[in-house]
């Protein structure tokens, strides 16, 4: 254990931290019972600093107990949290909430939906303080900005998949993990002023405004379907994506291309560093500017799990180049996981988090072993060798995520390896052309007419390829009642 700890210390710590989160969720561990042993083992680690084996064991146990502590704190709701108010979810009469908008509104089921932070709730004619993140479906449509204060009147419901910790561990449903405190349906909303939303809210308002402008530019010269696919692949905006396309790609195992991932972050990082190098910016300033720009892209795309992971890893690699040290990919991946789980331990139960890290770890660990296994059979011609490598990468990613896909979506997708062999290169070209369309719309509008028809053709071809694979007998196997 000490040898693996010395080679990849952050990776081992991240595994034990995640294990502590799982254990705390399953056993409903309290903060006090995990905190005292954590302090004890941390003290013991300092006393055994020169005993490498014992020190490694103590540090790993500290991270395991810290995972328990972090989840216990995340699940400990304050007294005035809306889930703890018995009168909040009464079904006999509508509730009145005063809240602040914290997300860009989107359309779902023909209604305007958005996330809001609850501040007050009406009870017996008076407004009482409360807290909790709410998902609100409004009957009337109003132009909303992040940070605006609203009065919402509608029926409150517990979120789908909700269950208390006493009835089992945090489940696979994101609502059940505590991210959403309640859902208000059929709400009538009124603006109640927007006095000084604060620096974070004002900053995020500009971020969301920029995101909407970029979405508008992607759809200016393309069809609705093409614009929806581009928005999902480049900006992480899936609200306009037809459900039929999403379901089709789930069944072929290619739904990951509709999620902003490390490839997108890599493109942004490469373009930024290339532009700054052409401008002869010094290396240190170039690295700092590159880090700021990819973090900005992460915020624009909604900071989903795959993007945050890729962003943290990109920042680590950029900083390692600045320090002239080679970054270890396992430790970089572990640092991203630790950072995300420290901010929100319940992220471990999120589907996107699990699939993102499972696919990356499968590729970096399993792909070299698969390649070594067939090294003597590799073709000599470079094009055939490249196709073989692509097939092995696809196989490694599929093997790493097949179990999670079957568990979460109820599908086993044997056709995924072959489908990804064709779809992933197409998706890469579409992503590059999509960035080209956004840049040309911003600086050279005349070039947009060149990118738009090419994107229409590529998106149509990608959907046709998916439709072909889904018609193959045995392409996907439905499990259980999925």
pLDDT in tens, the chain (482 residues): 545 556 678 888 999 999 999 888 887 767 777 888 888 988 988 888 888 888 888 999 999 999 998 888 888 778 888 888 877 777 667 888 888 887 777 777 677 888 888 889 888 778 888 888 888 888 877 777 777 788 888 888 887 644 333 333 333 343 334 468 888 888 888 877 654 455 566 676 677 778 878 888 888 888 888 888 888 888 887 777 888 888 888 888 888 888 777 777 877 888 788 888 888 888 888 888 888 888 888 888 877 778 888 888 888 888 877 776 666 788 888 888 898 898 888 888 888 788 888 888 888 888 888 888 887 777 777 777 777 888 888 888 888 888 888 888 787 888 888 888 888 888 888 888 888 888 888 777 777 777 888 889 999 999 999 999 988 888 888 876 55
Q: Quote the DSSP letter at residue 121.
A: E
CA distance 73 to 169: 15
* pLDDT of res. 173: 40
pLDDT of residue 301: 82
Residue the block writes with tokens 């809240």: 99
Helix (H, G, I), strand (E, B) or coil at 267: helix
* Paired tokens of 166: 């006493």
Rounded to whole angstroms, how far apart are CA atoms 2 and 57? 8
CA distance 447 to 418: 35
| pLDDT score recorded for residue 194 | 52
Region for 109 from its dihedrals, namely left if φ exceeds 0, alpha if ψ lies in -120 to 50, beta otherwise: left
Q: If you compute the radius of gyration of the chain from its CA atoms, what whole number of angstroms results? A: 24
How far is Cα 67 from Cα 79, in angstroms, rounded to an integer? 24
Q: What is the pLDDT of residue 406?
A: 84
Q: Are 132 and 182 in contact (CB under 8 A)?
A: yes
Query: Do 83 and 132 contact (CB within 8 A), yes or no?
Result: yes
* Burial degree of 156 (CB within 10 A; 0-12, 13-18, 19+): buried
Residue labelled with tokens 């998916």: 466
The residue behind tokens 């902003």 is 260
H or E stretch covering 27? helix 9-27
HSE toward the beta carbon, residue 64, CA cutoff 13 A: 13
Q: How far apart are CA 96 and CA 107, in angstroms?
A: 22
| Residue 402: count of CB within 10 angstroms of its CB | 19
Q: Which helix (H) or strand (E) holds 134?
A: strand 133-138
The pLDDT value given to residue 91: 64
3-class DSSP state for residue 107? strand
Yes or no: say if 82 and 118 are a contact pair by the CB < 8 Å rule: yes
Place of tokens 């196709």: 387
- Report which of 424, 433, 404, 409 is spatially closest to residue 469, judged by C-alpha positions: 424
Q: Is the dihedral of CA 302, 305, 310, 312 positive or negative?
A: positive
What residues contact residue 364 under an 8 Å CB cut-off, 6+ apart?
329, 330, 333
Task: Report the C-alpha gap between 96 and 128 in whole angstroms.
Answer: 11
Cα separation of 244 and 40, whole Å?
54
Rounded Cα distance, 468 and 134, in Å: 41
- What one-character-per-residue DSSP string does 158-223 give? PPTT---GGGSS--SSTGGGTS--EEEEEEEEEE-------HHHHHHHHHHHHHHHHHHHHTSSS-
Structural contact between residues 254 and 418, judged by C-beta atoms closer than 8 angstroms: no
The whole-angstrom separation of Cα 416 and Cα 177 is 30
Q: Which residues pair with 189 in a beta bridge?
A: 152
The tokens describing 79, both together, are 């007294």
CA distance 389 to 53: 39
Question: How far, in Å, are 127, 201, 304, 341, 480 from residue 21 at the CA level?
Answer: 36, 30, 20, 9, 28
For the entire predicted model, the pTM comes to 0.77
Q: Give CA–CA dist 105/84, Å, rounded.
A: 27
For residue 374, what are its two tokens? 């067939």
Q: Could you give the residue ranges of the DSSP H alpha helices within 323-381?
A: 329-343, 351-373
Closest CA to 38 of 29, 28, 27, 26: 29
């Amino acid at each position: 254990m000490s040898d693996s700890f010395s080679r990849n210390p952050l990776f081992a710590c991240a595994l034990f931290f995640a294990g502590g989160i799982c254990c705390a969720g399953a056993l409903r561990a309290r903060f006090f019972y995990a905190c005292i042993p954590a302090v004890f083992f941390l003290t013991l680690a300092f006393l055994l600093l020169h005993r490498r084996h014992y020190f490694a064991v103590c540090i790993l146990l500290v991270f395991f107990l810290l995972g328990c502590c972090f989840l216990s704190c995340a699940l400990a709701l304050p007294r005035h949290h809306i889930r703890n108010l018995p009168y909040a979810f009464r079904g006999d009469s509508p509730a009145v909430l005063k809240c602040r908008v914290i997300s860009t509104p989107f359309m779902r089921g023909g209604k305007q939906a958005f996330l809001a932070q609850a501040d007050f709730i009406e009870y017996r004619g008076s407004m009482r303080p409360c807290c909790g993140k709410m998902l609100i479906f409004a009957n009337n449509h109003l132009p909303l900005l992040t940070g605006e204060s609203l009065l919402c009147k509608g029926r409150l419901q517990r979120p789908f998949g909700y269950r208390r910790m006493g009835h089992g561990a945090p489940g696979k449903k994101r609502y059940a993990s505590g991210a959403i405190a309640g859902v208000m349906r059929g709400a009538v909303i009124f603006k109640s002023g927007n006095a000084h939303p604060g620096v974070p809210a004002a900053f995020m308002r500009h971020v969301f405004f920029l995101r909407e402008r970029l979405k508008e530019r992607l759809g200016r010269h393309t069809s609705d379907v093409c614009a929806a696919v581009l928005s999902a692949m480049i900006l992480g905006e899936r609200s306009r994506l037809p459900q039929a396309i999403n379901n089709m790609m789930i069944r072929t195992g290619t739904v990951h291309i509709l999620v902003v991932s490390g490839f997108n972050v890599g493109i942004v990082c490469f373009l930024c560093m290339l532009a700054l190098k052409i401008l002869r910016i010094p290396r240190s300033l170039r690295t700092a500017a590159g880090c700021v720009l990819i973090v900005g892209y992460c915020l624009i795309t909604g900071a989903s799990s795959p993007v945050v992971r890729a962003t943290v890893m990109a920042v680590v690699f950029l900083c390692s180049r600045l320090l002239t040290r080679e970054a270890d990919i396992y430790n970089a991946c572990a640092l991203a996981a630790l950072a995300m789980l420290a901010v929100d331990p319940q992220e471990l139960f999120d589907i996107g988090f699990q699939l993102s890290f499972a696919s990356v770890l499968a590729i970096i660990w399993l792909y070299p072993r698969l390649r070594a296994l067939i090294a003597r059979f590799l073709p000599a011609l470079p094009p055939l060798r490249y196709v073989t490598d692509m097939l092995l990468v696809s196989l490694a990613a599929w093997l790493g995520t097949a179990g999670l896909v079957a568990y979460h979506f109820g599908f086993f997708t044997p056709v995924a390896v072959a489908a990804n062999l064709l779809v992933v290169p197409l998706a890469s070209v579409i992503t590059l052309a999509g960035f080209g369309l956004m840049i040309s719309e911003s600086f050279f509008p005349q070039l947009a007419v060149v990118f738009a028809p090419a994107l229409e053709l590529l998106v149509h071809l990608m959907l046709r390829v998916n439709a072909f694979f889904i018609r193959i007998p045995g392409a996907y196997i439905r499990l259980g009642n999925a």
